[in-house]
Amino acid sequence: MSVQEATTGFSTTYGYEPAGVWSAPGRANLIGEHTDYNNGYVFPFGIDRRTYVALSPRSDNLIRLSSTISDQVVEFELGKKQPADLDWALYPLGVAWVMRDSANGGFDAYFTSDVPVGAGLSSSAAIECAVATALNDIWEAGKSAQELALIGQRAENDVVGAPTGMMDQTASMLAKKDAAVLLDCQSMETELVPLGLQERGLVVAVMDTRVAHRHSDGGYRSRREACEAGAAAMGVDSLRGLTEEDLPAAQEALDELTFRRCKHVITENRRVLDAVDALKRGDMATLGQLLLQSHASMRDDFEISVVELDTAVELAMEVGAVGARMTGGGFGGAAIAIIDQSKMELLSEHCKAIFAKKGFAEPNVFAVAASDGARRDA
């Protein structure tokens, strides 16, 4: 996927040249799952797979959207709230709706992307951040990268109807090459932490199970509601207000299911900080153990893994990964593993063979590198 592909697609569709091309990366979350909407810590990085949008302003209020996904051109009037059945087009239309006070007309846009959809790599945030960056430029809105990330989150919450936190959009906006973004979702403070994988011959392998997930479905929402109920019962504004020292009291106060949901978030916050510390010390063995502990917590306490994800994690460890875990919202999507570059082919072959033996869909296994955030490309 490239600037040229986006430009050509735009010109072919609309019959004139775009004003520019903007892009934003998908993201992989190294550790810190379902902590963001609990005001906790997350540690994602932008991946070297991106969504590109070629875009031009219009003098009227019409928005026209097209993409490599479909031959159809979606048309909508700026400022109207969109119906919920527009599929991928809902994400860019949602961003335009949130930014409507800055608008000085509609726009034509053409999208192309190599971020896998439904894999837990935040293809939606890549669309939102690419569009927000483009509209910030053409509408001269003057928004900061962090403000654009929050606009993307609002689009997902208020228009798409997915109750997600701000991790995905923050990672897609603020990412840097060879680094991950430690985000404190309470203070909104960020720290770029060098990963140091390349110098060790390591890569992050993505094992996309091809079990598609959707954040707007009920499983994600019920987890969020359990966390909010647990925090309220414990007398805190969010689970960020609790530490592992509070777990015995929480176990007394909460029903068994709510306790396990809250336990995952509370312990995951600690794992994120420990993972950052391990990376800064170059302690890959400890980092690997934290990834495995995170996966076990999501499998057993938060119950958002599926058998394909559990299998992928096990297979990565069998071929010698440093550590592995599912990534993203759960109920499908991808697992990640930190592994030696030389073992990528073996990992891919092993996953495909065992998945076939178990009757699962063939997984897509590939390496990603930490890459820069949203930008104007042309």
Of 117, 147, 122, which is closest to residue 132 (Cα–Cα)? 147
CB 197 within 8 A of CB 204: yes
User: Which residues, other chains included, contact 364 with Cβ-Cβ below 8 Å and sequence gap of 6+?
Assistant: 116, 119, 206, 207, 208, 210
- Active-site residue 168, yes or no? yes
Catalytic annotation, pick one of 108, 168, 208, 301: 168
Q: Which residues are catalytic?
A: 168
